[in-house]
A and B are shown apart, each in its own frame.
Chain A
């Protein structure tokens, strides 16, 4: 992955407009957060291969970045994104890594389901 250049990510976000796409959205503190520090809650959310269609998409912020998708009947957004890649499977992968390089959030879009 490489550091996000918003214009480049925006161009790829636009290629999926009004198509049926699969979303991967995940955010995590790691399963051991509460074990390592009792004051720290363990929080994880994970959705893989939710099928949606979006009419509008935008990347905003000055880094880390935010991406929002406006659906026909709702929204999806992610905050804290730092890195991205458009891979050989025509999937747009974005992620946010913390200061130790660990994944904190992952937000991905693909026309075909992500491999399970």
Chain B
């Protein structure tokens, strides 16, 4: 089967932090990657330092940053789903799943990456992951693509154990850094401190650029 990766996440920058290395490696291998991004992060609090955004200009700024990040990772199929930041959990669950199912059926991915439902910390992360799982559950179990989930809760190891997938991304660390940098309104302050440490190979930040870890979603139906 022809490989195709589908990343479904709610916020511009979720992909840069969690999946940029995996994406970059897949693209380097010539594998198509589709990124379905739920919102434009319209409700974010980081407005640039010094300030360059306000509540009404932020969506357009973040849209441009998202496109720049996709260019950095060589993603050629970006879908902006038009949901509003911080509202995913309040959407109708079936409709949210419908939205994801339409893309899944069109793209026919061999691998999906999303958040682990209940372990995303941000309500949008959980709702997004739950929506993807709900959409996949509508298919017979043997037709569901491999699904990698990111978990970031503090109690994840106790509840769901250790992640079973660890990908060394050191060969594409520069691409990941560029993807993070593209999300300027969200990452600029943090990266100023980080970049110097990155260049000095400071272990404190190197873990961001060494490995990405995922849980393969285990179906229990």
Contacts and interface: CB of A to CB of B under 8 A. Distances in A.
A28 B43 CA distance: 9
A87 B56 CA distance: 9
A22 to B, nearest CB: 12
Q: Is the interface of B mostly helix, strand, loop or mixed?
A: loop
Interface in B36-70: 43-51, 54-56, 59
B86 interface: yes
Nearest to A91: B56
Given A28-B43, A30-B45, A46-B86, 4 more contacts: A26-B43, A31-B124, A95-B55, A100-B49
Contacts of B154: 35
A15 interface: no
B47 A103 contact: yes
Interface size grouping (class) on chain A: 20 to 34
A83 B55 contact: no
A93 B45 contact: no
Nearest to B57: A87
B-side interface size class = 20 to 34
Interface of A: 1, 24, 26, 28, 30-32, 35, 44, 46, 83, 85, 87, 89, 91, 93, 95, 97, 100-104, 106, 108, 114-116
Nearest to A48: B84
Contact of A103 (B55, B84, B86, B153): B55
A-B complex: 3 closest residue pairs judged by Cβ atoms = A102-B45, A101-B49, A103-B45
Interface in B59-107: 59, 84, 86
A95 B54 contact: yes
Chain A CB count within 10 A is highest, among B44, B45, B84, for: B45
B43 A93 contact: no
Contacts of B121: 31-32, 35
A78 to B, nearest CB: 13
A35 to B, nearest CB: 5
A42 to B, nearest CB: 9
A42 B150 CA distance: 22
